[in-house]
Amino acid sequence: MAAAAVLLPPVTPPTYHRIVSETLRVPFDEKVSIPVGLLACQRDPLLREIATTVVSARISQAPTPPSNGRKSKKEKAPPVPSEPLLEVVLHDTVIFPEGGGQPSDIGVLTSSDGELWDVIEAKRHGGHAVHYVRSKDQSADRALRSFSPGAKVGVALGDEGWRRRLDHMCMHTSQHLLSAVLDTRNLPTLSWSLTAWPTPSYVEIPRSMSADEIASVQDEANRLVFEGRSVHVEVEELHDENMPDQAKLESGRNVGKALPADYTGGVKRTVIIDGVDRSPCCGTHPPTIHNLQLFLLPHTESLARASTASARLYFLAGPRLLHHLGAVHAHLARTAAALSCGAPQVPERVEQVAEERKRAGKRVDDVEAELAGLLARDLVGAVVGAGGAGAVMHRHRTDDAANPLGFLNAISMAFAREVAARPDAPPYLVVLSSSPSAQTAASTSVVLVFGSDEARVKEAGDALKAKLNVKGGGKGRWSGKFTGVWREKESRAVEEALAPLSGVNP
């Protein structure tokens, strides 16, 4: 990640995490793990490390399956490490286990002997966060000793983990803001995806939007950003009466504001953007949307599904937006340099180059047709000049055309037209070959045989196969390919292959 100039307050304000129930407490007994919903990463999204205690650790039984069960095949699974993984449950953590559409954090554990251990991901199992820790040897015994229950450990995001988290937070909170503004336009969010860095994420909405409509939504969202609306979280116990609505569309699909079915943490958590939005969500969100400038790609992508006409609206914010700007600028600067013009002139220059290319292509076609005609006339002249029983001839060309066989065919067609107008033409057999100017052992030369007698054409093709290893075939006209460097020797081999057929000559 290149740029990360997103300004956040240095610490999370004490008013950020609000327990709104009289009876709910964050468990302080270090022998139990704090349920997902009340974790340090959720109470204080700017906290990067804490000291805590191991509750349990075991060797991971299998590669970690996708916890939401609906990951597309395209999404890359984390690399399977060669060493066994440990599943470590801590009393508390700053490493967010994936949830609410937000991917898992990565981080580092420090055991009491000062050793560092990579956390490659964290997942929610029921109501608790499980850290997947890479062990350092095959037996994993040393790792299990370092993470015995009650052991003191440090848990940190580390630089890489923090950059990843900051990006995820900026994109996730921007999604809440975007969905809230879309809601006011009667465009409910059907689903969303926090795509892998650095691609734009998207919300799925029931219909496509015009560029003007998108610009208006972007303006409205950024007005709220400029106002620097604050973000806070309210938590309470979860019970039947306050269960978030499992809102459904007419099509029966969930609108995505419900709790995961396997969540057993007993905490209801609501993320509030002041005066804008209240959404049940377990994700990590910065304490303000200040400076979370939102950019919407100015078009929607329609999704072809039998029952719906939904569309995706793509968005960028925070470090991902800055990266996007940098990458787009680099592309534009490179294109401008290649075209020897300034960036603003690029579209005009590209149109100009495309138009010139079209005209040049047309001219090449015209000139090729004219040249094929002239070459054919020359060949017909030679055939007629041979007189008597006719002519067997070979002509070799050097040609860097994309389709050299096409040009040889054009010569043969022009020849056929020309020779038809010459009742005095004797029988003939013509071999045309063509090689590129710079040749290597892998180069391809093409060969075309045509003549007044189909049987002779086939005989000539068979002789070229035998003498020169030309691979080819065809009825009436025989064409083939030769692989390697075509030199004098190859042209002489063609003459030799044709020698027994020169019976058409007097």
> Binding residues for Zn ion, per CB under 5 A?
100, 281, 283
Detail the DSSP E strand segments found in 136-184: 152-156
Report the nearest approach of Zn ion to the CB of residue 279 (Å): 6
Phi-psi region of 388 (alpha: psi -120 to 50; beta: other; left: phi over 0): left
Distance from C-alpha of 387 to C-alpha of 395, rounded to nearest angstrom: 19
Q: Which is nearer to Zn ion, 281 or 296 (CB)?
A: 281
Distance from C-alpha of 8 to C-alpha of 319, rounded to nearest angstrom: 12
Q: Which is nearer to Zn ion, 37 or 461 (CB)?
A: 37
Q: Which is nearer to Zn ion, 158 or 283 (CB)?
A: 283
Report the nearest approach of Zn ion to the CB of residue 61 (Å): 30
Residue 242 DSSP one-character state: G
Token duo for residue 292: 């979370």
| 74 phi/psi in degrees, rounded to 5 | -65, -30
Distance from C-alpha of 267 to C-alpha of 271, rounded to nearest angstrom: 13
Closest C-alpha among 153, 135, 132 to residue 144: 135
Detail the DSSP E strand segments found in 40-127: 49-59, 85-90, 107-110, 116-125
Report the nearest approach of Zn ion to the CB of residue 231 (Å): 11
Report the nearest approach of Zn ion to the CB of residue 63 (Å): 27
Q: Which is nearer to Zn ion, 140 or 224 (CB)?
A: 224
The residue with its CB nearest to Zn ion is: 281
Residue 223 CB neighbour total at 10 angstroms: 11
Closest C-alpha among 314, 315, 279 to residue 294: 315
Residue 328 CB neighbour total at 10 angstroms: 10
Report the nearest approach of Zn ion to the CB of residue 289 (Å): 13
Q: Which is nearer to Zn ion, 273 or 281 (CB)?
A: 281
Report the nearest approach of Zn ion to the CB of residue 144 (Å): 35
Report the nearest approach of Zn ion to the CB of residue 60 (Å): 28
Q: Which is nearer to Zn ion, 135 or 193 (CB)?
A: 193
Helix (H, G, I), strand (E, B) or coil at 71: coil
Q: Which is nearer to Zn ion, 95 or 133 (CB)?
A: 95
Distance from C-alpha of 167 to C-alpha of 319, rounded to nearest angstrom: 6
Q: Which is nearer to Zn ion, 281 or 468 (CB)?
A: 281
Q: For tokens 């609206």, what's the residue?
A: 313
Q: Let me know: does 473 contact 461? Beta carbons within 8 Å.
A: yes
* Cα radius of gyration rounded to whole Å, the chain: 36
Report the nearest approach of Zn ion to the CB of residue 55 (Å): 27
Closest C-alpha among 297, 230, 269, 320 to residue 16: 230
Q: Let me know: does 276 contact 177? Beta carbons within 8 Å.
A: yes
Q: Which is nearer to Zn ion, 40 or 271 (CB)?
A: 271
Report the nearest approach of Zn ion to the CB of residue 233 (Å): 11
Q: Which is nearer to Zn ion, 100 or 480 (CB)?
A: 100
Closest C-alpha among 456, 453, 454, 450 to residue 500: 456
Distance from C-alpha of 43 to C-alpha of 35, rounded to nearest angstrom: 12
Q: Which is nearer to Zn ion, 203 or 372 (CB)?
A: 203
Q: Let me know: does 504 contact 488? Beta carbons within 8 Å.
A: no
Report the nearest approach of Zn ion to the CB of residue 271 (Å): 6
Q: Which is nearer to Zn ion, 282 or 504 (CB)?
A: 282
Report the nearest approach of Zn ion to the CB of residue 245 (Å): 15
Distance from C-alpha of 422 to C-alpha of 374, rounded to nearest angstrom: 16
Tell me how far CA of residue 476 lies from CA of 185, 451, 454, 455, in angstroms. 69, 8, 5, 8
Q: What angle do the packed helices 346-386 and 404-420 form, to 10 degrees?
A: 40
- Burial group, residue 458, by CB count within 10 angstroms (0-12, 13-18, 19+): middle
Report the nearest approach of Zn ion to the CB of residue 310 (Å): 19
